[in-house]
Amino acid sequence: ETGVTQSPTHLIKTRGQQVTLRCSSQSGHNTVSWYQQALGQGPQFIFQYYREEENGRGNFPPRFSGLQFPNYSSELNVNALELDDSALYLCASSLSQTGGRGEAFFGQGTRLTVV
């Protein structure tokens, strides 16, 4: 077990709705990154939070937003859901600010289906 937990594990939403996914980081980690993995693809970087501030963003529209809380847990919010948002969403926690040099530990993901 990595110590990173995500909730819920599965979710079905209707197009146009909003969704919030949650991630509890591994103890002591201050950086969380979110990824989207569509079927047959590698994970795509959405954004990263370091000490409650967004610290880098991938090529995702503004309807993908996030929060990191003082206890370093995190949320991913997606507004106006589209069918293409159906994917596995992974969060990963790490110690370093860059998120690149330190090991990242992944949660088991949330499987989102938009119908």
Which of 26, 33, 86, 110 binds another protein (CB under 8 A)? It is 33
Give the closest residue to 114 by CA, choosing from 16, 5, 26: 16
Q: Which stretch binds another protein (CB under 8 A): 13-21, 67-75, 78-86, 104-112?
A: 104-112
Q: Is 114 in the site for another protein (CB under 8 A)?
A: no
Q: Is 10 in the site for another protein (CB under 8 A)?
A: no
Q: 10 vs 70, which CB is nearer to another protein?
A: 10
Q: Is 66 in the site for another protein (CB under 8 A)?
A: no
Count of residues of this chain found to bind another protein when the rule CB under 8 A is applied: 28
Q: Is 43 in the site for another protein (CB under 8 A)?
A: yes
Q: How far is the CB of 70 from another protein (least distance, A)?
A: 24
Distance CA 77, CA 22 (A): 9
Chain contacts with another protein (rule: CB under 8 A): 2, 4, 33, 35, 40-45, 48, 56-59, 90, 98-109
